[in-house]
Structure 1
């Protein structure tokens, strides 16, 4: 039987992925989710790209999801007048107020509240931590004086990180609010929020989505600040997925601490039964080269073995020379490691008796039983997608086949590990429906004669309630 990967690939859209042919090539090689980076997005281009992706889904039977990634409060310096090089010991003023062209003595800072938030002794990191400054003093109005600790070229519009500063700016900026409203109008499948620090940041976005979208759009919290790691237990209660955004995280936190934090965050997501994406520099050299480095191959493999639902490409597909080939390389790495017995998932059965306790328990036992009896697939009928999240989080060795009459979740579920969703709207009796679904799974090449299948359903079936039934079937010639 054809080997299919279960770990999903998120590919960032950009100038390199602007044609239907390239997008189709990426889907053919294993892209599952397309990410819109709102830091660099033009609404007309985005709308056109979304239209093409949905057209490809309809034409070729794909379920590619669209992830809108909000920029968040990204801090930057302004434009520099000429080339500037700063040396250790130099003093420089970071000024807010009116925009101006920077020099080696004064540089513009986009973050208006910086003089009120900055305290003496705190660090200012520029250009992914290549330049390091220490706050000397602030006039509390519009200027912060800082001393250079680690020097180098100070370039225009470079990103600023303030790892020790308690930032008063909200996680949702005015730009993010506009972008989120646009994303809702395009009915994207997921929205990611950058620089999440507290659960309240997510609540604000939830309210905005409720106001501007008829359908629920699940939220991914991007973890890239130390406060987020500290508040992770509260954050997972208010989001539908996590992204380990290792770029800014590796600047705000010492880079050597990121590997263990990555493992901690994946474990946290697994316990919360929500998907987790590992992002940043996964196949960076493939922006210009046809071959990844051994370290990059190892990084992708280790992220899969940590238990990530998805691995993400940024520049590799948005501006890289080989957007289709990088997806192919990544798919090959995933397929070669994801069935390893070395991958361990936290196996604690659900114990909190919420109203969904029975569904959770059935999903847990279905995943375990599938491994015990070597079932080829677990099939589930769902209207909300809840069972798909639950089964996927237990990482069964079986395929997870989801049948739904809710077209909205067909693409949404494409981010989840191991999940393949199909449109199905014929809900008759339980027996007939399960037979129907079994036949569909055989037709799609997921099952053959002699295979074991676990079917989950809610009885009575026409009420589309919570899953309360588990049934085991051996596929016979007559059921195919």
Structure 2
């Protein structure tokens, strides 16, 4: 139950979190950080994990959800549509296992990762799961003849890019598997390259290849990249990750393919510039570290997070602690979960992110992200800024947002409040896409809509309180403050009320 009325009580999770977050200067904030202070119970950063043959079983997915995964990424560089249908069913089955747990049960979002203009190696001879060792200084011949597609070994490597001999020169660098293996071209032929292994390692099948500085003539959006999102629409995916996007028109092309039925699917570009056309940006650190000097990657990451935060866009990163401190919305595991060997990496990533969240200087972020005093604000902007200001002043346990499209919750999250955002919605897609934004805990309400809007509002707020009573944000019996962001008319765009309520 909840009751309206003013209060100055600080929520129990905030009292337990120490005094660092109350400081008004960053240096004082840093000095008050304490390694012995537990972080608040709720987590604010989304965790995206790549699904693969090794990790897509219901049992593995269940463990990944327990470790914090809230977005399952389907890599369409591999597998048939039938294969991905099975993977999607497994995600739904694993999710429903937690139906009786109000904290672990959440709508796990589905992300479709397009193939994009990738260059990949062939299959290792005798087994698609085998690996061969490449030693530094050894000679490796790159072949384009399809006869070698399934016959790669320590001497022969097949690539699927037929023009590689035209765009590389003697002395050019070729990087394999996110740069783990590096080759230098020593000799060119019409349909082959002779290379020397500069940095060796274990080579598996179908690994990505980068050609830094080469004028690769692959289309950014292939026919497969058009057909796969259309399939995703039929499977109710929540977002599409676009690989190696060159320009905004590439994003528009995929949006066109999604059509009217998929118009609400979020499009995330895996590069650091075209944020205006995209719903968010993914900083692909592995590929970025090949295309630009490794020592510049952190700078590109900070630039991207800064621009996206200022524009209110989602930003996803594979780094952990620093990405969280820089206010990244999501962090991503790819090879660690795709190979299936390091599923526990998700749990460790979750723990690191959780600790880093406790060290974020939220007050500074809010002040820098807030519009200037003379800036005109539309009503929904004013209410979301007001909710954030009230949250900081009350040191409350959570911000409750009742939302249909998710826009109100996204607007609140834009300012990176310390308090988690409980977003109550009846739309599964809205619940899934909430994980792309800072600190949103989606609650899916499956009850029918009431004729009286006031009854719906009361019922939905109480639903959020009941979830909270399970111990995620407030503690039972503690007098805390929740900020209710409410629209008194049904539908999108009518959020116009900030309401302070006490939780009993």
TM-score by length of 2: 0.75
Mean CA deviation greater in 185-194 or 379-388:
379-388
Q: Distance in 1 between matches of 2:50 and 2:183?
A: 30
Query: Which of 457, 461, 466 does residue 443 from structure 1 map onto?
Result: 466
1:320 — aligned with what? 340
Q: Distance in 2 between matches of 1:19 and 1:153?
A: 29
Q: Does 1:330 align with 2:380?
A: no
Q: Distance in 1 between matches of 2:229 and 2:73?
A: 14
**Cα deviation, residue 422, structure 1:** 2.3
Equivalent pair of 1:377/1:453 in contact (CA under 8 Å): yes
Q: Does 1:20 align with 2:49?
A: no
Secondary structure (helix, strand or coil) at the match of 1:3 reads coil
**Cα deviation, residue 338, structure 1:** 0.4
Name stretches of at least 5 consecutive residues in structure 1 with no aligned partner. 224-228, 280-298
Secondary structure (helix, strand or coil) at the match of 2:429 reads helix
Q: Distance in 1 between matches of 2:70 and 2:495?
A: 30
Q: Distance in 2 between matches of 1:118 and 1:177?
A: 29
Equivalent pair of 2:106/2:443 in contact (CA under 8 Å): no
Q: Distance in 2 between matches of 1:83 and 1:416?
A: 41
Equivalent pair of 2:165/2:193 in contact (CA under 8 Å): no
Secondary structure (helix, strand or coil) at the match of 2:221 reads coil
* Count of aligned residue pairs for this structure pair: 440
Q: Aligned pair in 2 of structure 1 residues 355, 137: CA closer, same or farther (>3 Å)?
A: farther
1:382 — aligned with what? 403
Equivalent pair of 1:203/1:238 in contact (CA under 8 Å): yes
Q: Does 1:10 align with 2:48?
A: yes
2:331 — aligned with what? 311
Secondary structure (helix, strand or coil) at the match of 1:36 reads strand
**Cα deviation, residue 7, structure 1:** 1.1
Q: Aligned pair in 2 of structure 1 residues 438, 21: CA closer, same or farther (>3 Å)?
A: same
1:469 — aligned with what? 496
Query: Which of 177, 189, 194 does residue 238 from structure 2 map onto?
Result: 189
Q: Distance in 1 between matches of 2:212 and 2:285?
A: 14
Q: Aligned pair in 2 of structure 1 residues 371, 77: CA closer, same or farther (>3 Å)?
A: same
Q: Aligned pair in 2 of structure 1 residues 441, 255: CA closer, same or farther (>3 Å)?
A: same
2:34 — aligned with what? none
**Cα deviation, residue 436, structure 1:** 2.7
Alignment of 1:212-223 (within 5 A): 213-214=261-262, 216-223=264-271
**Cα deviation, residue 3, structure 1:** 0.9
**Cα deviation, residue 419, structure 1:** 0.8
Deviation per CA, 1:175-216, whole angstroms, max 9, x where unpaired?
Answer: 3334333322211111101111211221111111117x4452
Name stretches of at least 5 consecutive residues in structure 2 with no aligned partner. 1-12, 14-39, 100-104, 126-131
Q: Distance in 1 between matches of 2:154 and 2:43?
A: 52
Deviation per CA, 1:226-261, whole angstroms, max 9, x where unpaired?
Answer: xxx4xx1xx101111211111111112121211111
Query: Which of 403, 411, 414 does residue 424 from structure 2 map onto?
Result: 403
Deviation per CA, 1:363-417, whole angstroms, max 9, x where unpaired?
Answer: 2332233112212222222221112222112110112121223233122223322
**Cα deviation, residue 172, structure 1:** 2.0
Q: Aligned pair in 2 of structure 1 residues 410, 105: CA closer, same or farther (>3 Å)?
A: closer
Q: Aligned pair in 2 of structure 1 residues 468, 14: CA closer, same or farther (>3 Å)?
A: closer
Mean CA deviation greater in 193-202 or 108-117:
108-117
Q: Does 1:391 align with 2:430?
A: no
Q: Aligned pair in 2 of structure 1 residues 176, 367: CA closer, same or farther (>3 Å)?
A: same
Q: Aligned pair in 2 of structure 1 residues 152, 348: CA closer, same or farther (>3 Å)?
A: closer
**Cα deviation, residue 29, structure 1:** 2.9
More helix by share: 1
Query: Which of 254, 259, 276 does residue 237 from structure 1 map onto?
Result: 276
Query: Which of 304, 319, 322 does residue 302 from structure 1 map onto?
Result: 322
2:484 — aligned with what? 455
Equivalent pair of 1:119/1:165 in contact (CA under 8 Å): no
Equivalent pair of 1:32/1:415 in contact (CA under 8 Å): no
TM-score by length of 1: 0.78
Query: Which of 221, 236, 258 does residue 297 from structure 2 map onto?
Result: 258
Secondary structure (helix, strand or coil) at the match of 1:17 reads coil
